[in-house]
Chains A and B, each alone.
Chain A
Amino acid sequence: MFKQITDLSGNEWYLIASLWIFLLFFITVGIRIFRMRKADAEYLKGIPMDDGEQHDEESLN
């Protein structure tokens, strides 16, 4: 499929660079996510559940 890249007249570096950016970016993100502390993730996912509203006692819908 990528044989068609060869008509780029020496500008293949665009594609090669983007491939490397793609790989480095996701490997980095992947490692960081893997090393993320569970407590941090739990805190962040709980943010929407505390909206700061002063609720009445009665439940809504």
Chain B
Amino acid sequence: MTVVLLLKKNTSMQLTKFHYDNAIVRNFGVATIFWGIVGMSVGLLAAVQLVWPFMNFELQYSTFGRIRPLHTNAVIFAFVGNAFFMGAYYSLQRLLKARMYSDFLSRVHFWGWQLIILAAAITLPLGLTTSHEYAELEWPIDVGLTIIWVAFGINMFGTIIKRRERHMYVAIWFYIATFITIAVLHIVNSVQLPVSMWKSYYLYAGVQDALVQWWYGHNAVAFFLTTPYLGMMYYFLPKMANRPIYSYKLSILHFWSLIFIYIWAGPHHLLYTALPGWVQSLGVAFSIMLIAPSWGGMINGLLTLRGGWDKVRTEPTLKFMVVALTCYGMATFEGPMLSLKQVNAIAHFTDWIVAHVHVGALGWNGFMTFAILYWLIPRIYKTELYSKKLASTHFWIGTLGILFYAIPMYWAAVVQGLMWREFTPEGVLQNPNFLATTLQIIPMHMLRAIGGAFYLSGALLMVYNLVRTMQQGKLQANEPAEAPELTPVVVNEREPHRRLERKPILFLVLALITILIGGMVQMMPTFMISSNVPTISSVQPYTALEIQGRDLYIREGCVNCHTQTVRPFRSETVRYGEYSKAGEYVYDHPFLWGSKRTGPDLHRIGGKYPHKWHFDHMLDPTITSPGSIMPPYPWLLVQPLDASSTKAKLNAMRILGVPYTDEDINYAEANLQQQADAIAADLSEQGVEIRSDREIIALIAYLQRLGTDISKAPVETATNE
């Protein structure tokens, strides 16, 4: 038994009076509502464009490839992010019985976060993107985000240190894990070499970049969409149900197992790709294990309502919480199932993944956010909710919205996944034209958009309800509270976890170690052992024009609809060509494998069609592919290519390890012009007159290069030896 110095609550002492800061909670709450509506509206616009592409209003700034990342960033970092801060600032103060450490830092955090969101809302439609999913923001915004995140961390830990409650409740553990893990993920996944103010290249290339990105991408879901919400669930659900959490012991096991296991599961996003097989297998194994802690948390939440289910009938907040927990359970069962290779082979790249993500986002994150807003706003405004009936109506419209969204997407996924793989009895593809599989699922996409409209309508009802609630009450910006101060005393404490619960820094370090293990085991061998990424001698760096074309591909967000990784299935090698090898991507900063096939894979598109086909296709996709839902890109035909950045880009690539010679860099612009002239001349022969300095020329150069190097490799001839 260890003798330690404790901060003991002395109940015989006089109570200290202080105030909770409700103004910052209100501010984050209003931001949650505002950005939620914006993010959902952009999502609905994107969904509509997948049926009627002209709904981009023929503007490059509102085209699917650019607004899809705007939608994901808005709902993840603006809607969910602000909701987490709202819930954390409210619950932290009350769980620690202390006002936030610094009102100044609270304001810096709030306004800094909104500024970052605004920067994202401006830069993403402009096409300023890194292309890493959920990490698209360019490096200056990444730096700003880091500073604001640190301000939040200082404010949170400052509050923990000056607390009047000896032990940190389980909600705070989840907040701590969120803080430290997001910091690690963001830093590691944002190591970029700036080329200019709004352009950078990732340090990692190809397979390694893919591993880092999906380690980040998966754990952004884990530690931005899951752990902070679990923390809020552990605080707000007992408050709403007016009964303590079902099992505190289960919450300890839930916390440690969840943060340990989650971090390993990222590679399940890269099954059947060129990622080393052993990393894929580890990802699958840990994904299956993840069911246990996830369901442990869900069960702990649902059992908290034992004996109180009658309240679910009358309290809209509890209705939202029950569906949120149910969706969490469904999504966390579905995720491991999708990571099974046999299931993944059919479901990956289809709408199943979109449905899976939205069951989590709309159900778990959205519904819990609505529940907390309905519960919290009346409390800080010292009034009652304007209309419970409207809130219940919101609940039913929202639930219908989720169903209308998810079910057609599952249906579309099965239809398209099977159509991609279908062969005739003669052994040829039943649907050799990819477009045939896309057109088949258009009705499902229409239903999905209707589901989204339902969900958004419900959220608008909530806005009205909460505005009326605010109008009928008055914000208690500084809420009076009281608690005895903690005084240092020496006591024996037998239980180790109880000791840990009052040591925030030690807790932080242990959580950090726990989340680092999985990432290190997967990344270090992949980065350090050369046999994991075998090189191919015929694979050469991109030319200057191709690099510029690649950056246009990134700017237009082509990666949102097209993959660049052919999996080793007969149905894919027959449709696209030879399956993709790790060595083909060694100069790809960043990797552009994608995660969804709204259109076909492009890794073997090079040389498949003449230049004119690509020209026509970008001018109007329905010229080459009647019925296509890809939007036209007419601006590429009129906008001149900014070739002034070419040398800087090649130089940056050389610093990152791409073997460009001095000659390549010194003559970059001349080489670029020479290749562009050749493409323009070829187009001219086909009857297309276009200047060689237009953006379309660079994009054609890049597309025509894709996946062609492997065909130049020497063919190994079988011998009898």
Residues of A within 8 A of B (CB): 1-2, 4-5, 7-9, 11, 14-15, 18, 21-22, 25-26, 29-30, 32-33, 35-37, 40-49, 51-54, 56, 60-61
Contact = CB atoms under 8 A, between A and B. Distances in A.
Contacts of B167: 43-44, 47
Given A1-B281, A9-B531, A48-B244, A53 B94 contact: yes
* Most chain B beta-carbon neighbours within 10 Å: one of A8, A35, A51, A56: A51
B94 A48 contact: yes
Given A4-B277, A45-B244, A61 B385 contact: yes
Interface of A is mostly: helix
A15 B235 contact: no
Contacts of B245: 45, 48
Interface in B361-393: 375, 378-379, 382-385
Contact of A49 (B244, B248, B480, B482): B244
30 contacts: A1-B281, A1-B284, A2-B281, A4-B277, A4-B280, A4-B281, A7-B276, A7-B277, A7-B278, A7-B531, A8-B278, A9-B529, A11-B529, A26-B257, A33-B249, A36-B495, A37-B495, A40-B498, A45-B247, A47-B95, A47-B167, A48-B171, A48-B235, A49-B244, A51-B94, A51-B97, A53-B479, A60-B383, A60-B384, A61-B375
Contacts of B91: 48
A29 B252 contact: yes
A25 B257 CA distance: 9
A43 to B, nearest CB: 8
A39 to B, nearest CB: 10
A8 B276 CA distance: 10
Contacts of A40: 495, 498
Given A14-B524, A36-B498, 12 more contacts: A2-B278, A7-B277, A7-B532, A8-B525, A21-B517, A33-B252, A41-B249, A43-B167, A45-B244, A47-B95, A51-B94, A60-B379
B238 interface: yes
Nearest to A59: B384
Nearest to A17: B521
A33 B260 contact: no
A14 to B, nearest CB: 5
B608 interface: no
Contacts of A42: 248
Contacts of B94: 48, 51-53
B157 interface: no
B20 interface: yes
A52 B482 contact: yes
B239 interface: yes
B285 interface: yes
Nearest to A60: B379
A8 to B, nearest CB: 6
Nearest to B279: A4
A45 B278 CA distance: 41
* Most chain B beta-carbon neighbours within 10 Å: one of A21, A33, A37, A47: A47
* Most chain A beta-carbon neighbours within 10 Å: one of B375, B501, B518, B529: B529
A29 to B, nearest CB: 5
Contacts, number: 128
Contact of B278 (A4, A44, A53): A4
B486 to A, nearest CB: 13
Contact of A53 (B249, B285, B481, B497): B481
B169 A44 contact: yes
A8 B234 CA distance: 42
B256 interface: yes
A20 to B, nearest CB: 11
Interface in B461-507: 479-483, 494-498, 501
Interface string B152-185: 0000000000001101011100000000000000
Contacts of B518: 18
A29 B253 CA distance: 7
A46 to B, nearest CB: 6
Nearest to A8: B525
Interface string B238-267: 110010110111001100110010000000
Contacts of B494: 37
A41 B248 CA distance: 6
Contacts of A2: 278, 281
Interface string B1-39: 000000000000000000010000000000000000000
A53 B479 CA distance: 7
A44 B252 CA distance: 11
B282 interface: yes
Nearest to B242: A49
Nearest to B341: A1
Interface in B508-537: 514, 517-518, 520-521, 524-525, 529, 531-532
Contact of B253 (A1, A30, A51, A56): A30
Contacts of A41: 247-249
Question: Closest 5 A-B residue pairs measured CB to CB?
Answer: A51-B94, A4-B277, A45-B244, A45-B248, A41-B248
Nearest to B483: A52
Nearest to B385: A61
A46 B198 CA distance: 50
B249 A11 contact: no
B256 A25 contact: yes
Contacts of B379: 60-61
Contacts of B525: 8, 11, 14
B495 A15 contact: no
A44 to B, nearest CB: 5
Nearest to B16: A52
A60 B531 contact: no
Contact of B244 (A15, A46, A54): A46
Contacts of A29: 252-253, 256-257
Nearest to A53: B481
Contacts of A61: 375, 378-379, 384-385
A48 B248 CA distance: 12
A52 B97 contact: yes
Contacts of B235: 48
Contact of B521 (A14, A44, A45, A51): A14
B481 A48 contact: no
